[in-house]
Amino acid sequence: MKKLVVLSGAGMSAESGISTFRDAGGLWEQYPVEAVATPEGYARDPELVTRFYNERRRQLQHVEPNQGHRLLAEMEKDFDITVITQNVDNLHERAGSSHVIHLHGELMKVTSSRQPNNPDFIQELKPEEWEVKIGDLAKDGSQLRPFIVWFGEAVPAIEVAVDYVEKADILVIIGTSMNVYPAAGLLHYTSPRCEVFLIDPNEVRVNANRPINIIQKGASEGVKELWETLKG
């Protein structure tokens, strides 16, 4: 069974109604990155940051995986699939994907403010527990913070992701600008025999000295075309 690795970004979940950060009208226009997505912003105003992620979790309860998510899960019948996502939502898992690596953390998980990457302190919230309050504590006694990799923080899962990309027979990039590092650098770890597909309705400029199969469609239509192409 061929190893197929998917690198998904905000465009993967946009069709489900998840607000993107970078597009016009996106979340970064409403909230400065520095305020809600950096350790410094959290230290300055933990209440604002906690509220921001509560709102993201609340929104997540009202959206469903789209056809693109569901088709990727279905493709596990034909391929050994690993999804590496820059998204913090759980839509890949809810659609049925069995192996998902979250580069930037997970919205429905919280952790210690003191040791955010210590597995002993990471806990998953049930859907009805989406609201975290100031005063809710991790097991080490520190305030619970979102299990999100903020700007300026290390990306612990990147080495695991590199390992999967190096062994991939097929790499599929869906809905990402390829501007955010280290995720954007994953393409450079593919072997020469790896076939690369890029699914995005917009033109994406990729610096790569290799052929890339472009499918200029949204996630749902694009994954459908991809599967038909691969079944050939």
Residues annotated as catalytic (active site), given as ranges: 104
Question: What was the pLDDT predicted at 177?
Answer: 77
Mean pLDDT value across residues 41-55: 94
What pLDDT band is residue 28 in, cutting at 50, 70 and 90?
very low
Question: What was the pLDDT predicted at 24?
Answer: 47
Q: What is the pTM of this model?
A: 0.92
Lowest mean pLDDT among 118-122, 159-163, 208-212: 208-212
Res. 166: pLDDT tops 90:
yes
In 3D, which of 58, 46, 61 has the Cα closest to residue 150? 46
C-alpha dihedral sign at 83, 200, 206, 208: positive
Question: What was the pLDDT predicted at 170?
Answer: 98
What pLDDT band is residue 30 in, cutting at 50, 70 and 90?
low
Report residue 53 as tokens.
């992620």
Of the chain, the percentage scoring pLDDT greater than 90 comes to: 79
What pLDDT band is residue 231 in, cutting at 50, 70 and 90?
confident
Model pLDDT for residues 80-103, shown as the tens digit of each residue:
999 999 999 999 999 999 999 999
* Three-state DSSP state, 223: helix
167 vs 207, higher pLDDT = 167
CB contact at 8 A, 212 and 46: no
First CA to last CA across the chain, in angstroms?
16
Q: What are phi and psi of 188, to 5 degrees?
A: -75, -5
Mean pLDDT value across residues 23-44: 76
Res. 6: pLDDT tops 60:
yes
Domains and CATH numbers, the chain: 1-16+65-104+155-232 (3.40.50.1220), 19-62+109-148 (3.30.1600.10)
